[in-house]
Amino acid sequence: MEEALVETLEEYDMVEEGRVLVQSFEQDSLLKVHELNADVPLIQLVWYYPSEEDNSRLVEWTGVTPGPEEITDEDFQAVADYAVGIGTNFIYEGEEVIDADFIRQANENGLPVHVYTINETEEMERLMEMGVNGLFTNYPDRLLELVE
């Protein structure tokens, strides 16, 4: 699948013209795309939730990174080796899973943070105050009102 995607992106000059951004939870797939064409901008998606063994500890669904409390500069830099950003959830079952320190640390390691899927204006405002670089939303009109 990765080969077909990269071939199509190249055929239509989408990479050169900056018209594409590929995101996935599957690190191996992103690494394959990077290997095929290092100019394709990639976003590593992550999903944090409480560990089944220790509810007070957060883990990442696919194991790409440790949980937010345990993540190191080296972990962020490993993602930055192939990705131009990291996409994460903000809340899991009503509890926040990332904070301003997570965002700052990712940014300091060359990774803009894009949070998904934020539909409530209050959450949008809060995340912008925390320093996120981008928001995924089903209501772009709400976000546009905040940034205009």
Domains plus CATH for the chain?
A: 2-115 (3.20.20.190)
**Of 105, 142, 39, 40, nearest to 88 (Cα)?**
105
Q: What is the pLDDT of residue 108?
A: 98
Percentage of the chain modeled with pLDDT above 90: 98
pTM: 0.93
Q: What is the pLDDT of residue 52?
A: 93
98 burial type by CB count under 10 A (0-12 exposed, 13-18 middle, 19+ buried): buried
Place of tokens 């996935």: 24
Q: What is the pLDDT along the chain (148 residues), one digit of tens a residue?
A: 999 999 999 999 999 999 999 999 999 999 999 999 999 999 999 999 999 999 999 999 999 999 999 999 999 999 999 999 999 999 999 999 999 999 999 999 999 999 999 999 999 999 999 999 999 999 999 999 999 8
**108: Cβ–Cβ under 8 A, 6 or more apart, which residues?**
73, 76
**117: Cβ–Cβ under 8 A, 6 or more apart, which residues?**
136, 137, 138
